[in-house]
Amino acid sequence: MDIESLKYVLKDQKESIMSQDTGRMRSVTAKILQMVDSKEIITISGVRRCGKSTLLRQIIHGLMKNGIPVENILYVNFEDERLREFTSKDFDSMYNAYVQLYKPKGKVFIFVDEIQNVQFWEKWAYRMREFTSAKLFITGSNSSILKSNISSSLTGRSIIIEEYPFSFNELIEHPDQYTRKGVSSIRETFDRYVKYGGFPEAVLNNNKEILSSYLRDIISRDIMSRYEIRNVKEMEDFMFYLLNLYGKRFTFAKLKNIFNLGSHNTAKNFVNYAESAYLIFTVEDYSSSMSEVIRAPRKLYVIDHAIASQVSSNPVTDMGAILENIVFLELKRRLAFDESIFYWRDEKDREVDFIIKKARKVERAVQVSYELGSRKEQEVDALLKSMEKFGLAEGLVITNDYEGTEKIGRKKIIYKPAWKFLIGL
C-alpha cells in the first residue's frame, strides 16, 4: 500500500478512537498500565466484541493521563476494509506514514487491533520490540493463530492477557452488601446479568437481540472464513449444537456419529475451531492417568450463556446450567498461571463440577447447585468424596441464594450465594 493512503487511514482511525468514550473501566486496565515500561509485547486476545478495542482506548487515555503525548501513539485497526490489501510488507510503510504525520519524539506506543488479519505480523512485531524504543499492544480474536505465532517468534517476548465479556463484578460499580437496599441492587444487577450476559453492548443497553448478529459474525469470520469451510450449513449446525451443550459432557465419537463426519479427528478439529474463536471452552475429567483423560468425556462451557440462548433448542431456561457456566467463567478469570480447571467423577458417576489444580496438587473443589432442595444430599455426597480423595478440609457449594456452613465429620462445607462469590466475598 502507498504511504499517502496509509496516512489517510491512520489519521482517520486515530481521530475516531480518540473521540470515543472509554466506556466502563475494565478490571485488567490498571494491570496493563503497570506494564508500560516493560519491553514485552502486550497481547490481548478474546472473543470478538468482548471489548478489546474499548480496552485499548482505556490504555491510550491512561497513557495520556500519565503524560504521554498524543503524537507518540500509533493506532491501527485491521478490521478496516480499507486495509484489506495490507500485507506484512506494508508494516514499514505504515510506520513511516505515522512518523511523517505526527513526528513523535521519544518512545512510541503502538496499538494494533485484530492483528490476526495480517499474516506474518509476528516478524514485524519482533523487529519493533528488539530494534526500536516502541512498546506494542496488540489484540486478536483467534487464540490458536495468536499463540502459534507468538510461540514461533515471540516466546519470552510477549505477555498474553485473555479478555472476556464483562464479569458480574465489573458491572457492580459500588457494591454495598451491608444494607437491604444495597443487596437488593446487587441482586437486580445479577438478574440482569443472567438475562443479558456479559457482552458490553447487550448488558449495558439491555439489548439481547444484538447477540444474534454477534454469533453470526463470530461463526462467519472467525471459523468459516478462517478455516475455509466449504459446507457452511454443516458447520453452522455443528456450532449451534455445541452451544446447546454447555454444562454437559460430550465425546468426539458421539459428535462424529451425530453429524456423520466420517472421523473422530474431524469432530475434534471442529471443536478446536470453536475454542480458537473463544466461542466455547472444554474441561477435562481429572485423572492422574493420561490415557483415562483422553478416553473420558469432556464438559463444555460457552463464552456467554446469553449468546448461546440465541440458538437454544430448550424452551425452558435451565438456570442450573446458566449458573454453572457463569461460575466456570469466573473461576477461569481468576486462575493463576500454574492453575488448571477440571471436573471430577468417581466410579459411581458422582460428579463435582470444578476441581482446581495448582501445579501438581488439587487445592479446591467447587460444586454449583442453583437450588439444593432434594438434590442437596447428592451434591454434597459427591463433593465430600472428592474432598476425601484429594485431602481437602473445605468444599464450596455455590447456590442461587442459600448461605451457610455445615460440618460433616472433619470436613467443612461452605454454601455461598452466587452474587457473593462473583464479587469476591
3-state secondary structure of 73: strand
CA 98/CA 109 separation, integer angstroms: 12
Nearest CA to 113 out of 55, 26, 32, 35 is that of 55
Other beta carbons within 10 Å of 211: 22
- pLDDT value at position 143? 81
CA 381/CA 117 separation, integer angstroms: 50
Nearest CA to 236 out of 253, 252, 217, 251 is that of 217
- pLDDT value at position 290? 76
CA 281/CA 329 separation, integer angstroms: 9
Nearest CA to 327 out of 307, 306, 355, 354 is that of 354
pLDDT digits (tens, 9 = 90+) for 69-98: 999 999 999 999 999 999 999 999 999 999
- pLDDT value at position 397? 98
For the domain 3-162, what is the CATH code? 3.40.50.300
- pLDDT value at position 186? 94
The sign of the dihedral angle between the CA atoms of 146, 282, 224, 77 is negative
φ, ψ at 28 (rounded to 5°): -90, -10
Interstrand relation of 361-368 and 351-358 (parallel, antiparallel or unpaired): antiparallel
- pLDDT value at position 144? 66
Strands of 125-272 (E only): list them. 135-140, 158-162, 249-250
pTM of the predicted model as reported, rounded to 2 decimal places:
0.94
pLDDT digits (tens, 9 = 90+) for 335-375: 999 999 999 999 999 999 999 999 989 999 999 999 988 88
- pLDDT value at position 373? 85
- pLDDT value at position 136? 96
Nearest CA to 61 out of 107, 96, 26 is that of 26
All structural domains of the chain with their residue ranges: 3-162
What parts of the chain have a pLDDT lower than 50? none
- pLDDT value at position 332? 97
